């Protein structure tokens, strides 16, 4: 069988099973990854390089550090403060999502979810509601803001390199508002959607007495993680695993500190918080995507985009945006964006137009498309993993109820604004 066709079949089968067997996703992903090796599409020697170790290290380190943060009682205190100032649970949930979005504009989306999810869990417990939709809202909001700045997501970094953009170009570019403001408009639209979706939550809850937080070291370490991740994003030619090492080192520092305090339970809790199923799932997905890329499936998808439109800019623009939304709901948006950037450049050259519209349209669609499915983005997988560790089952329908309207509202808003600004 043609390797390209075989790769496409294996890919589709893997993702269908990922959606169907939600409790065994890590096993499905590993079996799918092994399939690409067994049929000869991906050589064994390429397996190590196919896995994004930076992401896995960052998740593992953040999980342990965030557990120390939870055990310190600080999330419960923050939940109390948020309830005091937002007055209603409904507004509190929307505020949490917006808060997560602001953070993720400057640091990795996964790290954002790992930091904000404990607060979402504490708020949910305080008011007696399921944390499932709240944590999902935090995850999808984190994905949205990844496109806001040059350092918000790997896709933004790829675009900046291809288009020669620096950090400030995302705010103001060639005399016009940049991608940052387009994303904020999408954030406002999606916040309205969240406000509507949570219309049936309890009206208001008075905060309880503030808990006493005696150990502030985990909070300091967590803030240090934010600062170091943001600072590291500005360092050129840094090692690929820099962010992962930052998170792991800070986790070790926290564990050593708790050990010195004689707090064995905190150490045990931090180590136990590392979700191996989520890590195995992501490792498998990375290998599957590498197999699809090696077989040339991504190049075929890119060629389809290039052949559309017959010279009609609006059709090409719409195809790139909405096609990217659809593809990145199932395909990791990093290799997809890398494959599509030269296609966008070629189309712009053939049409004799400024490529900014298509560049920003690609970023909008590829970044937000991951919010359509539970496995479309690492932040979603991480959020669901956190909920599973807390004993909550997340059905596909639970995610889709929030992910689909959230994504559509944000993409439609960005789609319209980009066309008005750059067409």
pLDDT tens per residue, the chain (423 residues)? 788 889 889 988 988 888 788 678 889 989 999 999 999 999 988 888 888 888 788 878 888 887 888 788 787 787 778 778 887 888 989 988 998 888 888 777 787 888 788 888 888 888 888 899 999 999 999 988 888 887 777 788 778 877 878 778 888 888 899 999 999 999 999 999 999 999 888 777 766 677 778 788 988 998 888 788 777 767 777 887 888 899 899 999 999 998 888 888 888 888 887 888 888 888 888 888 888 888 888 777 766 766 776 668 899 899 999 988 988 887 767 767 777 787 888 788 877 888 899 999 999 998 888 888 887 887 888 899 889 888 888 888 889 999 999 999 999 999 999 999 998
Write down the pLDDT at residue 271. Answer: 85
Write down the pLDDT at residue 306. Answer: 67
Write down the pLDDT at residue 332. Answer: 67
Write down the pLDDT at residue 360. Answer: 95
Count structural domains, the chain.
1
Q: What angle do CA 110, 265, 23 make, to 5 degrees?
A: 45
Q: What angle do CA 360, 150, 338 make, to 5 degrees?
A: 60
CA dist 33 and 36 (Å) reads 5
The sign of the dihedral angle between the CA atoms of 423, 172, 305, 140 is negative
Whether 241 contacts 54, CB under 8 Å: yes
Burial of 43 (0-12, 13-18, 19+ CB in 10 A): exposed
First to last CA, the chain: 43
Whether 409 contacts 299, CB under 8 Å: no
Write down the pLDDT at residue 149. Answer: 81
Q: What are phi and psi of 390, to 5 degrees?
A: -85, 0
Write down the pLDDT at residue 197. Answer: 92
CA dist 69 and 63 (Å) reads 10
Q: What is the pTM of this model?
A: 0.73
Q: What are phi and psi of 177, to 5 degrees?
A: -60, 135
Give the domain extent around 88: 3-422
């Amino acid at each position: 069988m043609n390797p390209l066709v075989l790769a496409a079949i294996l890919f589709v089968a893997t993702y269908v099973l990922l959606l169907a067997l939600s409790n065994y996703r890590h096993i499905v992903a590993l079996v799918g990854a092994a399939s690409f090796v067994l049929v000869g599409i991906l050589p064994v020697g390429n397996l190590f390089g196919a896995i994004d170790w930076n992401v896995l290290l960052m998740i593992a380190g953040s999980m342990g550090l965030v557990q120390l943060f939870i055990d310190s009682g600080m999330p419960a205190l923050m939940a109390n403060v948020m309830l005091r100032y937002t007055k209603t649970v409904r507004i509190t949930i929307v505020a949490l999502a917006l808060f997560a979005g602001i953070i993720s504009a400057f640091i990795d989306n996964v790290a954002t979810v790992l930091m904000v999810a404990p607060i979402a869990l504490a708020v949910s417990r305080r008011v007696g509601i399921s944390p499932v939709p709240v944590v999902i809202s935090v995850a999808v909001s984190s994905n949205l803001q990844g496109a806001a700045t040059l350092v918000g997501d790997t896709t933004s970094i790829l675009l900046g390199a291809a288009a020669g953009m620096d950090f400030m170009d995302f705010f103001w570019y060639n005399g016009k508002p940049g991608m940052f403001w387009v994303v904020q408009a999408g954030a406002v639209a999606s916040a309205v959607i969240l406000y509507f979706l949570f219309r049936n939550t309890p009206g208001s809850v008075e905060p309880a007495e503030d808990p006493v937080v005696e150990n502030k070291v985990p909070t300091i370490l967590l803030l240090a993680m934010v600062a170091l991740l943001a600072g590291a994003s500005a360092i050129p030619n840094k090692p690929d695993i820099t962010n992962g090492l930052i998170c792991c080192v800070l986790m070790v520092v926290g564990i050593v500190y708790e050990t010195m305090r004689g707090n064995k339970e905190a150490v045990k809790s931090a180590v136990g918080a590392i979700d191996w199923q989520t890590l195995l799932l992501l490792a498998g997905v990375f290998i599957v995507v590498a197999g699809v890329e090696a077989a040339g499936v991504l190049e075929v998808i890119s060629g389809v985009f290039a052949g559309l439109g017959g010279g009609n800019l609006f059709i090409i623009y719409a195809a790139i945006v909405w096609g990217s939304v659809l593809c990145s709901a199932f395909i990791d948006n990093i290799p997809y964006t890398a494959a599509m950037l030269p296609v966008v450049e070629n189309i712009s050259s053939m049409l004799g137009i400024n490529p900014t519209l298509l560049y920003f349209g690609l970023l909008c669609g590829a970044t937000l498309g991951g919010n359509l499915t539970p496995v479309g983005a690492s932040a979603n997988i991480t959020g669901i993993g956190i909920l599973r560790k807390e004993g909550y089952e997340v059905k596909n329908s639970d995610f889709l109820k929030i992910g689909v309207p959230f994504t559509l509202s944000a993409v439609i808003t960005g789609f319209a604004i980009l066309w008005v600004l750059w067409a």
